[in-house]
Amino acid sequence: MIEYIPSGDSAFLVKFGNEISEEINRKVRAYFIALSNKKLEGIIECVPSYTDLMVLYDPLKIQYKSLLKELKILAENISEIEIPEAKTVEIPVCYGGNFGEDMDAVIAHTGLREQEIIEKHSQNSYLVYMLGFTPGFCYLGGMDKSIATPRKEVPSQKILAGSVGLAAEQTGIYPIESPGGWQIIGRTPYRLFDPNRKPEFLLQAGDYLKFYPISEEEYYKLNEND
């Protein structure tokens, strides 16, 4: 059952469920496409997440009751919305050593050898559920739970762009240099966010991501982050 939850006087949270799953996320994406195609006057922005869609609107152009009616009508046909075929983006990662400062912490927590962690991290395809936190930061689903590792007790002040980390049962890539608390196990030479590139983001919600290991020499040949 879809919930429509007012968020202040100029936003709606359209909620499709309470658990992270590909099925629920497909409904979010379908609804996002349908609402974008509808081009309702007064809609300022739509922000998809794991299970919800935040709809920001101008109350001077469309009233609460009118928008709620339109949103409910739109939901009746989302099963008919065609979602573009997902693309898979392969991301090279140089694991461990100078590129994975927290690999030892992950080894200690999981009891696995470094090579086992690399194999488990790179064997799956990860769905990009949404982007957020920093420009181009991907929230991914599909990680092997055997390598799940808690966040750092004390976040690092500086995580380099391209750093690949673990946080509980999630993995992700820092697209820009920033503070962070994820356990860093490697780094990609690819640039996930470039404001001078079109499109600016290497990955989009709905894509799949596949990591593959590379050597330090290969990293420097491919490096885009300097």
Residue 133's pLDDT is what?
80
Residue 179's pLDDT is what?
94
Tell the burial category of 46 from Cβ atoms under 10 Å away from its Cβ (0-12, 13-18, 19+): middle
Residue 100's pLDDT is what?
97
Residue 131's pLDDT is what?
87
Do 100 and 55 reside in the same domain of the chain? no
Do 107 and 206 reside in the same domain of the chain? yes
| Boundaries of domain holding 37 | 3-80
Number of domains in the chain: 2
Last residue of a domain, one of 26, 46, 80: 80
Mean pLDDT of successive 10-residue stretches along the chain, which has 226 residues: 90 90 89 89 90 93 90 85 87 97 97 97 93 86 94 94 94 94 97 90 91 96 84
Do 45 and 153 reside in the same domain of the chain? no
Residue 76's pLDDT is what?
85
CATH number at residue 51: 3.30.1360.40
Do 95 and 207 reside in the same domain of the chain? yes
In angstroms, the Cα distances linking 111 to 34, 53, 103, 114 are: 46, 39, 12, 9
